Amino acid sequence: MKLDGRVIAITGGAQGLGYAVAQQLGQKGARLALLDISGEALDSAVSTLARQGIDAQGVVVDVADEASVVQAFADIAEKQGPVSGCVNNAGITDDALMVKAKEGQVETRMSLAAWQRVIDINLTGVFLCGREAATQMIEAQHEGVIVNISSISKAGNPGQSNYAAAKAGVHALTVTWASELARYGIRTGTVAPGFINTDMTASMRPDMLERIASKVPLRRLGEADNIAQSVAFILDNDYFSGRIIECDGGLRL
């Protein structure tokens, strides 16, 4: 899909991977709708992009809230027109072992709240935004692309029952939608990043990050632009659908 003049929605677009995606797609001529829960971060992202000559609208949304998502996509359609692309990138972590014990005594357990919050944002949020985006693409009768951001953790990762389950589910949505939506000219794809330098990884302990980097065959964490390149490839390649790009420096968890 040629991006020139196309409206592309990017969730979690105010910083990190979402912002890098915005910058690359904006440089290719896309008109951007950045959806994020943080209005302050959105204002700053939109004005930085404007200084680079990139046209972006900031839309405050909670991707886990149906009414908020429906309203956000209605605002985009009204101000910029129907979306041609949707990059479902917003996500959080809330790590804890499901059950942690010492000498037969259970010390901690992942709470239902920690489970639910990550599933709501990282999985239900992708469903809701994907549904609204597909609806607009079909009603506008133009081609479209939905890109979902998963993670290397989709294969399972200790301390991430909630996150790993959500990220595996995200790719299941990509595969399902590729079959359901192809008849309307809509393609899908997943990008599964490894460990990438953003605020999300900056919150991890430095010694843990060093240990991870030493296990990556390329011996370093990735950069947000590496993920943006993968997203741009899926948008551009007209015979790519329902599949995954793993951009992780070759790391296996």
Region binding ligand NAD by CB under 6 A among candidate stretches 6-14, 75-83, 104-112, 138-146: 6-14
Can residue 226 be called a binding residue for ligand NAD (CB under 6 A)?
no
184 given a catalytic annotation: no
- Total chain residues near ligand NAD (CB under 6 A): 29
Name the 3-class secondary structure at 203: coil
Can residue 36 be called a binding residue for ligand NAD (CB under 6 A)?
yes
Q: How far is the CB of 85 from ligand NAD (least distance, A)?
A: 16
Q: Is residue 16 within 8 Å of residue 200, measured between CB atoms?
A: yes
Region binding ligand NAD by CB under 6 A among candidate stretches 51-59, 136-144, 175-183, 196-204: 196-204
CA 105 to chain centre: 38
The DSSP line for 79-121 is HH-S-SEEEE-------B-SEEEETTEEEEE--HHHHHHHHII
Q: How far is the CB of 103 from ligand NAD (least distance, A)?
A: 34
Q: Is residue 92 within 8 Å of residue 63, measured between CB atoms?
A: no
Q: How far apart are CA 120 and CA 115, in angstroms?
A: 9
Can residue 132 be called a binding residue for ligand NAD (CB under 6 A)?
no
Q: How far apart are CA 122 and CA 163, in angstroms?
A: 8
Please identify which residue in 37, 59, 129, 235 interacts with ligand NAD, judged by CB under 6 A.
37
Can residue 76 be called a binding residue for ligand NAD (CB under 6 A)?
no
Footprint of ligand NAD on this chain (CB under 6 A)?
Answer: 11-12, 14-18, 36-38, 41, 61-64, 89-92, 121, 149, 151, 193, 195-196, 198-201
